[in-house]
Chain A
Amino acid sequence: MEAARAQQQAVPADVKRYNLFEVVLHWLTFASFLICLGTGLAFAYPRLFWLTNFFGGPQTSREVHPWAGIAFAVGLLLMLLLWGLDELPAAGDMQWWRRLGAYVSLGDAYHENGRFNAGQKLYFWVMLLAGVGLFASGLLLWQRDWSGAEARSWMRLVHNVAFVGSFGFLMLHVYMSVAMYPGTLGAMLHGRVTRGWALLHHARWYRKKYGLQ
């Protein structure tokens, strides 16, 4: 008991959640997605073709889009290596889902989560799956000699479906981090969260990090 107390003194008011590499990786991946999004929306919807003006004009947009896509894919791959283990299903996930209503209504949601809660895990794997779909279909649309026109017509559909999935979840992700729970955005700005935030969302991760049981 005394030892635990002493240890607790060492726990700072701010808890380190992401290191600099993770933060930079996150924003570079985000930037590459935004480039793909802006240019891609222009190609998908003629009414939004003016978006190409922000990316150097129509031809440059078309040139940039696949390269930004590769950057996005590399970002996702690094995220998989960094966070993949923490994103695997774990005890408590089902309890979190059962109290989803409380989470959405900002009520007393399940907070005994590891580094990521079940919702974040879903987001991670959806983005990864959409990323694989976007990358594979985009690659075939880019390298026209690798497949026939019939196959590429289906790749256009796959690309668009994966886009809607990834963009929908991204909007949710942005909203939740910026506006839903205060203090969340800071984790991706300076890498730190408050002790209260850690306990409210990831109590198990917090205790493990500081050896508290």
Chain B
Amino acid sequence: MSTPLDPLAIRRISASPSPNPSIRNGNVPAVAKLVDIGLCIGCKACEVACKEWNDLGVEDTYNFGSYQSHKALTPNTWDLMLFNEVEINGGLQWLIRKDSCLHCDEPGCLLACPAPGAIVQYANGIVDFNQDKCIGCQYCLVGCPFDIPKYDPKSQKVYKCTLCVDRVGAGLEPACAKACPTAAIKFGTKDDMLAEGKASVDRLKQRGFVNATLYDPPGVGGTHMMYVVPHGDRLADYQLPTNPTPRRGGLGVLGAWKWAGAGLLWAGTVGLAVHFIRFRGARIDAIKARERELEEQEGRR
């Protein structure tokens, strides 16, 4: 499956007030990864492939009582198998999930980023960080509803999955999808992946997983990595937010407040200018006269 990535077809650029160059966007099909959790055997081949392709190096790990290799994503671990242990119907279940950037269509990280060009969204939906423009403020960590971007104190930059933008640009599938031995990770156009995902959900339902669902949360405009979730009623156990939004908590109010605040400050500036024009000039002499008057009064005390 090859879908060309047109590097010129950029949909959104962080912190850029000018309109984005969207004239060619309609010509580029949106891409997506589909992670079919029902097919995943927890082999971690995707983790290794991600490390290898992106040259991220080995990170020390230790036994913290789980089959997971790390507790969470790190600046140089962009793909991590979460081994969530849950009791269902009296038996242990591993609600395994491949955790990596979901590439939101409305990316909270990009909307929160104050550095022009540090985060871009290509027309095909891939959200990518440009570390050379990153200022290390970590506002993307606040904006992301999935807790994906990770800050590296050494380089003072933030890192995350690129959806193998370099492979996709060369007509290849992402490294994780290439390595997956059970085709639990598929890659293609978003439309194709939606169709495959729905078919998979239907199959799961026929086999008794009545709550099976396709995770493509509308709150963030849908994602360019979707999950087929067998236990769709237990999203929290998969460590997936039920209704993620790109503007969490105070960020929703912040956008409006910034305009209001700027308005207040400009109104104040105009007010001061009006005061200056209205009262300066002749009144200064009056102040001086009043000062002399008070001095004379004080002298007579």
- Judge whether B154 is part of the interface by a CB distance below 8 angstroms: no
CA distance A155 to B112 in the complex (A): 13
What are the interface flags for A37-65 relative to B under an 8 Å C-beta threshold, 1 for contact and 0 otherwise?
Answer: 00000111111010000000011011100
Which residue of B116, B279, B288, B295 contacts A199 across the interface (Cβ within 8 Å)?
B295
Complex alpha-carbon distance, A22 and B144, angstroms: 45
Query: Counting CB contacts under 8 A, is B275 at the interface?
Result: yes
How many residues of B are counted as interface, with CB atoms below 8 angstroms from the partner's CB atoms?
A: 51
| Residues of chain B contacted by A194 (CB below 8 angstroms) | 291
Given A161-B261, A172-B268: A197 and B15 interface contact (C-beta under 8 Å): no
Q: Is the interface of B mostly helix, strand, loop or mixed?
A: helix
Given contacts A62-B136, A62-B137, A144-B138, contact A160 B248 (CB under 8 A): no
Q: Given contacts A153-B143, A157-B250, could you give 16 more A-B pairs where the C-beta distance is less than 8 Å?
A: A44-B114, A49-B15, A62-B136, A144-B138, A144-B151, A149-B141, A152-B142, A153-B248, A156-B142, A156-B250, A160-B257, A161-B261, A182-B284, A194-B291, A196-B288, A199-B298
Chain A interface, >50% SS class = helix
Q: Are B299 and A8 in contact (CB under 8 A)?
A: yes
What residue of chain A has the Cβ atom nearest to residue B271's Cβ?
A: A172
Question: What chain A residues lie within 8 Å of B83 (beta carbons)?
Answer: none
Total A-B pairs in contact (CB under 8 Å)?
A: 130
Contact of B141 among A8, A107, A144, A172 (CB under 8 A): A144
Interface string of B153-195 (1 = CB under 8 A from A): 0001000000000000000000000000000000000000000
Cα separation A131 to B34 with both chains bound (whole Å)? 48
Chain B CB within 8 A of A67 CB: no
User: Is A62 in contact with B135, judged by CB distance below 8 angstroms?
Assistant: yes
- Say if the beta carbon of A204 comes within 8 Å of chain B: no
Q: Does B24 touch A at the CB level, under 8 Å?
A: no
B115 at the interface (CB under 8 A from A): yes
B258 x A160 contact (CB < 8 A): yes
| Nearest CB on B from A162, distance (A) | 10
Distance between A63 CB and nearest chain B CB, rounded to angstroms: 8
CB distance from B109 to the nearest CB of A (A): 11
The distance from the CB of B252 to the nearest CB of chain A, in whole angstroms, is: 8
Q: Does A181 contact B (CB under 8 A)?
A: yes
A160 with B291: CB separation less than 8 A: no
Bound together, the chains give a CA A141 to CA B298 distance in angstroms of: 54
Q: List 21 A-B contacts (CB under 8 A).
A: A44-B258, A49-B115, A49-B116, A62-B136, A105-B283, A141-B138, A144-B138, A149-B142, A149-B144, A149-B147, A153-B250, A156-B250, A157-B251, A157-B254, A158-B250, A167-B265, A168-B268, A179-B280, A194-B291, A196-B291, A200-B294
